[in-house]
């Protein structure tokens, strides 16, 4: 951590002083000619200087797992809603409230249709993190007298793992299931892990870092047999793979708006009504959303989320074809020109929009630094600030050196073929450059097995 801080200050001091003058916030600044000249010089150079990095234009956006751009059709719906639906959707005494309520209920139907649920089972909240927290903590707190055990996996998103850790501190027991080398859960191990006092099984549908799709139907069946509520974090799954709460037999599901070209700051939680499962709310207050999530709904965000869900349903087939095509183009392009490229996680059971690659004999941070014109990430956005290799890849049993060199390419609705070609070109160039400098790569070329080298310490 300290070394990273030193490194970044060093980098900042090395860049030219005019970097400091450039401000990106001039959109709304009403004042000062200084800001205007700064923005002009910024435009004249046709370069962006930010955090000490100089880029000639806006980078290619290939980070669709962290978040997605807003779809103009969603934006259109939100605009109209934000002008007129300003009433409180929970106000029952006047037209403004009724209108807002209608807008919210329409969105509820749109979300429910996407996942094959009843609108009454949808609870709007701030996002998948809140949904995961509410479910994991809420269920266990509600049934705390009888149920003392939770099962989850090691590759789960941080917010599920952290909620489980929180439960552990309260005295609950948690089993973190290991995954196979392809990232999938071992169903036999899951069966063995279920105990009479197991209160919840939480397995994410599509992994955010490696994109593998878990065998949801099988897990759902096992949970049904053992009568254990099943929760899934489907933030990365809805709108991208077909989701059906009946087929999957989930009791709870978490969803997020900004992963499906919708607005940020809104999400939903599916809570099954039959058989009824109960949970203790995280938020107490006015009792909105069946008392599970108090607080006034953000009508405009909810409307945007609803439209995004409807669009996702309509466009799923079309988008999937396109994303699959681009994924193949990217993978073939990189593999044609480079050796030692490994795809992390199963290729068969995978959402095509996520391609997590490891480049052997290359230092991951240097690669990401060199790829400033491609907006990619080494793993999840939550952990990309640390130099630690991803815990998801470590859970897969990926070697330390390969885990350090992973890059996650996220492909989506708005990605173009030209962007993929450009990304391949830039990645190949950067990897080749780094390998040229690498003594390790030279040794491998000479036929030395680097795993058997005895490194001496100085």
Q: Which residues bind another protein (CB under 8 A)?
A: 24, 26-27, 39, 42-43, 46-48, 55-61, 69, 72-73, 75-76, 79, 318, 373, 413-416, 418-419, 422
Listed in order, strand segments (DSSP E) in 91-244 are: 122-125, 149-153, 173-177, 198-202, 230-233
Instruction: Give kind and range of the element (H or E) at residue 167.
Output: helix 158-169
Task: For tokens 């080749």, name the residue.
Answer: 432
Alpha carbon of 280 to those of 11, 138, 269: distances in Å?
48, 4, 14
Distance between CA atoms of residues 450 and 265, nearest Å: 47
Judged by CB, which is closer to another protein: 60, or 123? 60
Distance between CA atoms of residues 126 and 258, nearest Å: 11
Judged by CB, which is closer to another protein: 408, or 413? 413
Distance between CA atoms of residues 232 and 248, nearest Å: 9
- Four-residue CA torsion sign, 369, 370, 374, 379: negative
Distance between CA atoms of residues 128 and 131, nearest Å: 5
Provide, rounded to whole angstroms, the least separation between the CB of residue 256 and another protein.
Answer: 21
Judged by CB, which is closer to another protein: 25, or 458? 25
Catalytic residue among 159, 223, 309, 382: 382
Distance between CA atoms of residues 104 and 122, nearest Å: 11
Distance between CA atoms of residues 441 and 454, nearest Å: 16
Provide, rounded to whole angstroms, the least separation between the CB of residue 351 and another protein.
Answer: 19
Provide, rounded to whole angstroms, the least separation between the CB of residue 45 and another protein.
Answer: 9
Judged by CB, which is closer to another protein: 273, or 429? 429
Report which of 306, 296, 300, 302 is spatially closest to residue 91, judged by C-alpha positions: 296
Provide, rounded to whole angstroms, the least separation between the CB of residue 72 and another protein.
Answer: 5
Judged by CB, which is closer to another protein: 158, or 422? 422
Provide, rounded to whole angstroms, the least separation between the CB of residue 357 and another protein.
Answer: 20
382 is catalytic: yes
Distance between CA atoms of residues 221 and 375, nearest Å: 39
Distance between CA atoms of residues 215 and 196, nearest Å: 23
Judged by CB, which is closer to another protein: 23, or 113? 23
Provide, rounded to whole angstroms, the least separation between the CB of residue 37 and another protein.
Answer: 14
Active site residues: 382
């Amino acid at each position: 951590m300290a070394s990273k801080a030193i490194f970044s200050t060093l980098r900042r001091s090395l860049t030219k002083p005019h970097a400091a003058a450039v401000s990106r916030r001039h959109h709304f600044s009403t004042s000062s000619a200084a800001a205007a000249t700064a923005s002009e010089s910024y435009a004249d150079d046709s370069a962006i200087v930010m955090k000490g990095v100089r880029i000639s234009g806006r980078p290619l956006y290939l980070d669709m797992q962290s978040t997605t751009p807003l779809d103009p059709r969603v934006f259109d719906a939100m605009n109209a809603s934000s002008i007129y639906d300003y009433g409180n959707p929970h106000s029952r005494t006047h037209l403004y409230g009724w209108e807002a309520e209608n807008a919210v209920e329409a969105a509820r139907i749109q979300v429910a249709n996407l996942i094959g649920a009843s609108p009454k089972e949808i609870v709007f909240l701030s996002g998948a993190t809140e949904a995961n927290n509410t479910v994991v903590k809420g269920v266990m707190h509600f049934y705390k007298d009888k149920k003392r055990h939770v099962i989850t996996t090691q590759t789960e998103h941080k917010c599920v793992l952290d909620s489980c850790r929180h439960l552990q501190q309260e005295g609950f027991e948690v089993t973190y299931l290991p995954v196979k080398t392809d990232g999938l859960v071992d169903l036999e191990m899951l069966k063995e892990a279920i105990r009479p006092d197991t209160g919840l099984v939480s397995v994410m549908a599509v992994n955010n870092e490696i994109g593998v799709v878990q065998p949801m139907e099988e897990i759902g069946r096992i949970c049904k047999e053992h009568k254990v509520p099943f929760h899934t974090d489907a933030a990365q799954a809805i709108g991208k793979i077909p989701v059906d709460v009946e087929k999957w037999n989930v009791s709870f599901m978490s969803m997020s708006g900004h992963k499906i070209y919708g607005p940020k700051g809104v999400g939903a939680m599916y809570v099954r009504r039959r058989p009824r499962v109960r949970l203790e709310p995280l938020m107490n207050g006015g009792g909105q959303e069946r008392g599970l999530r108090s607080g006034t709904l953000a009508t405009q965000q909810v409307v945007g989320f609803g439209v995004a869900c409807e669009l996702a349903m309509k466009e799923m087939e079309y988008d999937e074809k396109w994303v699959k095509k681009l994924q193949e183009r990217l993978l073939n392009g990189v593999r044609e020109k480079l050796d030692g490229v490994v795809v992390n996680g199963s290729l068969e059971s995978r959402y095509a929009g996520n391609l997590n690659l490891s480049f052997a004999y290359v230092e991951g941070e240097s690669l990401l630094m060199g790829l400033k014109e491609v907006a990619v990430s080494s793993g999840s956005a939550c952990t990309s600030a640390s130099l630690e290799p991803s815990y998801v890849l470590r859970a897969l049993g990926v070697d330390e050196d390969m885990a350090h060199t992973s890059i996650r390419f996220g492909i989506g609705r708005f990605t173009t073929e030209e962007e993929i070609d450009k990304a391949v070109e830039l990645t190949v160039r950067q990897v080749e450059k780094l390998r040229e400098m690498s003594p390790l790569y030279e040794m491998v070329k000479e036929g030395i097995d680097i795993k058997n080298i005895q490194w001496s310490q100085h």
